[in-house]
């Protein structure tokens, strides 16, 4: 994998103590067969506390991307105000995301202005989510949210039981635009029966 750095983002992570980390926005060049595996995580807190202006994330063609997450407990993510966030993904083939049990996931986003997500052609997207307990997502005001997706083929989403799902939007979203170019082909949703109580 090759990366090029752009403008910096200041980010702080907290586990037992506060550890400042400086990250750069990156452009990921052509990547084939990358695999990302996460071992169990407990009590992880990520806070982006500094106002970020004009961050850009661009991914070039990716083939055979596999992301596997092991059990996560008590994950908290907090984002401070972001302006003009742009995410662009180039063609992706064979994207697989597998998430193991998650307990107490909390995500809080502060005001976001001008969020743009553009997704290019995706082949064979597979997402598997196993049991989730206590998922909480809180979103502050979002203005001018734009999502554009190019053709998607063979989208498969499998979700196991979810308990205590809470999504809260603080203020109405203004100017929400979602554009999907040609129809999605072969959409598969596989709900897993709830576990007996």
- At residue 38, the pLDDT reads 55
Mean pLDDT on 171-182: 56
| Average pLDDT of the residues of the chain | 63
Of 89, 24, 94, 25, give the one whose Cα is nearest residue 59: 89
Burial status of residue 4 (CB atoms within 10 A of its CB: 0-12, 13-18, 19 or more):
exposed
- At residue 188, the pLDDT reads 56
C-beta separation of 143 from 170 below 8 A: no
- At residue 8, the pLDDT reads 40
Which band of pLDDT confidence, cut at 50, 70 and 90, is reported for residue 81?
confident
How many CB atoms neighbour CB 39 within 10 A?
8
Predicted confidence (pLDDT) per residue in 92-106, tens digit: 777 777 777 778 877
- d(C-alpha 38, C-alpha 178), whole Å: 31
Q: Is the pTM of this model over 0.85?
A: no
Mean pLDDT on 167-191: 56
Check whether 66 has a pLDDT greater than 50: yes
C-beta separation of 105 from 135 below 8 A: yes
C-beta separation of 20 from 49 below 8 A: no
Please, what sign has the CA dihedral across residues 2, 82, 169, 13?
positive
- d(C-alpha 197, C-alpha 193), whole Å: 12
Check whether 37 has a pLDDT greater than 70: no
Predicted confidence (pLDDT) per residue in 115-145, tens digit: 777 777 777 777 777 777 777 777 677 777 7
DSSP assignment, residue 88? E
């Amino acid at each position: 994998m090759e990366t090029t750095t752009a403008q910096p983002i200041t980010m702080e992570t907290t586990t037992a103590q506060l550890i400042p980390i400086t990250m750069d926005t990156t452009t990921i060049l052509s990547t084939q067969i990358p695999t990302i595996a996460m071992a169990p995580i407990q009590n992880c807190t990520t806070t982006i506390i500094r106002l970020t202006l004009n961050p850009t994330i661009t991914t070039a063609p990716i083939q055979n991307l596999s992301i596997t997450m092991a059990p996560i407990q008590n994950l908290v993510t907090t984002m401070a105000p972001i302006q003009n966030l742009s995410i662009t993904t180039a063609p992706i083939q064979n994207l697989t995301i597998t998430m193991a049990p998650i307990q107490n996931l909390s995500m809080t986003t502060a005001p976001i202005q001008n969020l743009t997500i553009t997704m290019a052609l995706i082949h064979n997207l597979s997402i598997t989510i196993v049991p989730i307990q206590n998922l909480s997502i809180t979103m502050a005001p979002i203005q001018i949210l734009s999502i554009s997706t190019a053709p998607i083929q063979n989208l498969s989403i499998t979700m196991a039981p979810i308990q205590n799902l809470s999504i809260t939007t603080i203020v109405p979203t203004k100017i929400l635009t979602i554009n999907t170019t040609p129809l999605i082909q072969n959409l598969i949703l596989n709900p897993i029966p709830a576990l007996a109580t």
